[in-house]
Amino acid sequence: MDIENHTQPQDLPSQTPAVESASSESGAKRLGTGLVASIILISLFSGLAAGTLGGYFISKSALKGTNSTSSQVSKNVIVNEDSAIVDVVKKASPAVVSIIVSKNLSQSQNDNFSNPFFFDPFFQNRQQPQGNSSNTLQQVAAGSGFLVSSDGLILTNKHVVSDSTAKYTVITSDGKEYDATVLSQDPINDLALVKIKISNAPTLSFSDSNNIQIGQRVIAIGNSLGQYSNTVTTGVVSGIGRNITAGDSGTSEQLEGVIQTDAAINPGNSGGPLLNVDGEVIGVNTAIDQQGQLVGFAIPSDDAQKDLASYQKVGKIVKPFLGVQYVLITPAIKTQYSLSADNGAWVTSVPDSSSPAVVPGSPAEKAGLKENDIITALNGKKIDQNTTLAGLIKDFNPGDTVTLDVLRAGKPITIKVSLGQK
């Protein structure tokens, strides 16, 4: 668990929806609820005033002309929109890949294979077929990714390639298969980089995710259900800046500032691109709400670009590190624990974690932060439910110095911290 990510005390209701990843496990139970496409028919109505016979014919004629024009405009809008989506798919699909996860069957029985986002109890109970050799590989999971360099650098989700004992195979849109190597995993966010040996590969470019607007049209492409490669779905941006807890009953991870979309994202879409109508990546599809329909989440493209820049600079993905666990203060938490602040990051041990509130030897400890401190601001930016400590820290680099406004036993103090590297 990311030390900078927040959680809620175990005995309090979670403030974030439980979601599962959009990765797909081979043989796992598929989602049973069908997705029903809704078509909204727009009708234009005009009232006709009562009058003379001549007046009636004039009004009817005028109405007929208006309806004809409106209908043509509506048809043109639909045609233009469809054409734009078709163009994006033609442009982007060649750069989208499927990632196949394979395991040694005999090892898998002992390893209890699972990934941190999509738990697969069916696989854990699977027995090795009679007559198979001990080194038999079998597909156990599948995800998506997309090429970001012509020499085979691929961006995907960390949970898709998290198993160090698995074999990873990339299948490109033309059906060719490549052995894949995991280069680096983001220590905080659900992102990873893998590499295949290829030349002159098609690539996708990024858009600035700070410019995303709620309601804008988006397109998702990915290996749906682990067997329908390059599946295309469309929708809109339903929300931005969401903070969610992604995982299952066994494991979970905090994701902050993610994009919500109603474009259908199914198991297997993990790691695939969320695109705007210009064919640019605005997000990396990562999770779906298991309690709803058409509620998916994507990591913003700016986070992905920072990881790429980090890898290109130092050969791996590194992130700034403070070294505290905390709970975001809500009115209920303030009342229950008699805290002295309405908002902020309360430094305290979180449930299901073996780490203390302040990590020994961390930048936080060296700077003098203590358990039960309340961090109310970072470099003057107030911390609340919408602006989290982890969200503010990720905009800095290892080695940067930040100023924390802290309440200790109700008294304000200021602490400067030089961020470490994770």
Exposed (0-12), middle (13-18) or buried (19+): which is 273, by Cβ within 10 Å? buried
AA letter at 408? R
Establish whether 2 is a catalytic residue: no
Task: Provide the 3-class DSSP secondary structure of residue 380.
Answer: coil
Catalytic residue of the set 2, 186, 190, 289: 190
Nearest one of 393, 400, 117, 401 to 256, comparing CA atoms: 393
Output the six-digit token pair for 94.
Answer: 């060649």
Q: Give Cβ neighbours of residue 185 (< 8 Å, ≥ 6 apart).
A: 158, 161, 162, 191, 192, 193, 317
β-bridge partners, 143: 99
Strand ranges (E), 292-369: 296-300, 320-321, 326-328, 345-347
Residue of 23, 144, 229, 270 with catalytic role = 270
* Catalytic residue (choose from 24, 102, 159, 262): 159
Could you tell me the end-to-end alpha-carbon distance of the chain, in angstroms, rounded to an integer?
12
Q: At 272, list the tokens.
A: 């695939």
Say whether 190 is catalytic.
yes
Tokens of residue 413, six digits: 């103090």
Active site residue 355: no
- Comparing CA positions, the residue from 175, 178, 174 lying closest to residue 152 is 178
Catalytic residue set: 159, 190, 270
